[in-house]
Structure formats: C-alpha cells, structure tokens
Amino acid sequence: MTETPRDAARDQPKRTNGIDGEPGPARAAGPQAAAAEPEAAPPEELAAEREIEDLRRALEERDAQYLRLAADFENFRRRAAQESLDRAQYAAENAAVALLPVLDNLQRAIQHAPEGDPMVDGVRMVAKQFVDSLRSIGVTPIEAEGQPFDPSLHEAIAGEESPEVDRDTVAAVLQPGYRLHDRVLRPALVRVAHPVAG
C-alpha cells in the first residue's frame, strides 16, 4: 500500500521538552546557544605574571631600604658635624674653668690693694690681659647686677626685701659668673632683692 505524506508525518518521532513528554520548541542554533567559556591563561603566562609581581615587590622593598639608609646617613652626618663643631667651640672649656679662680684672685688683689700702691697698676694690667685672653677663646662674663634673677645664670646665696623692685632682681654680685659661647661655665654668686610682701 502506498504511504501518504500524512502517514509519514505521523510515524516521525515527536520533539518533547522533557516535561511529561510534551512537545517543546526546537533549540535555535546561534552565537547565544553556543557561547564559549573564556579560555584560561596558559601556565607560562601566569608564571611570568607572578615573577613580575615578585620583582616589583622586591624593587619597592629595596627602594624603601635605600631611603631609610639615606636618612640614617644624613642624621649621622649632621650629628658628626655638630659634635665636631662642639669640640672646636668648647675645646678650651676645662682650661677656662681651671683659670677662672686665678682671675678671681687677681681681681680680689686689686680690690683690696691700698690706694697709691704702684704695684696695683701692674696687677690691673695683668688682670685686663687675662680677661682679654679669655674673651678671645669665647669666655665672657655673665651680666648680673641689676638684672632679673635667672636661676640658670645666677646662684643666690643671700636675699633681702626691697621696695625698689617689683620682681626678684640681682642686687649685688659676690662672685662673677662666666659663660663659654652659650654654655655656662659657672653661675654668678649673687645677692637677690625681693619685692616687699604685700
């Protein structure tokens, strides 16, 4: 018997969507249906990237280390320069401290010498040369009499009230003080005038 087109269509298997055997739409072929997953980078490329990152980190660490060393060296250079300057400025400190009592004795001899004694003029000239020599190496007397009392420069060994001052003021110098440049060799021994208590 001859097969008709209707019979051929009936005999072909039906497409189903997988749910209860119901017919479903045919899958459309195209770019969306056949979208490919992104390909992973080759192992050689990953290894190269890791090596580059390691080199970058190592370079950053070296840069930081270099900056620290440069800062440390600069600090060392400054300290060395300051210490050298201090040694040059204050090299005569010990000698000056040892010579101050000699100058004190010369000045006391002048103060207590009788008037008209021809020896006094000679001693006065020696004392002046002594002061000039000390000044040439940076030793200068500390201003005291009439100045506001400064415990960093003056050492009070006596005090008295005075209506003539409104704050602690050096009334008299009992022993001169000296400094070497900006460093106090010894403070001045002074008597201090205090304001009258109200």
How confident is the model at residue 33, as a pLDDT? 46
How confident is the model at residue 113, as a pLDDT? 82
β-pairing, 183-186 with 178-180?
antiparallel
Give Cα 104 to chain centroid, integer Å: 42
Q: Once rounded to an integer, what is the mean pLDDT over residues 136-160?
A: 93
pLDDT at 18 over 50: no
Q: What is the pLDDT of residues 64-122, one digit of tens each?
A: 888 999 999 899 888 888 888 777 777 888 889 999 999 999 999 888 888 777 888 88
How confident is the model at residue 12, as a pLDDT? 54
Q: What is the pLDDT of residues 92-101, one digit of tens each?
A: 888 899 999 9
> How many residues are listed for the chain in this entry?
198
pLDDT at 14 over 60: no
158: which strand partners?
Answer: 191
Side chain identity at residue 141, one-letter code: P
Which has the higher per-residue pLDDT, 17 or 63? 63
The C-alpha torsion from 26 through 27 and 29 to 34, rounded to 10°, is -170
- Cα separation, 187 vs 112, in Å, equals 23
- Cα separation, 127 vs 107, in Å, equals 7
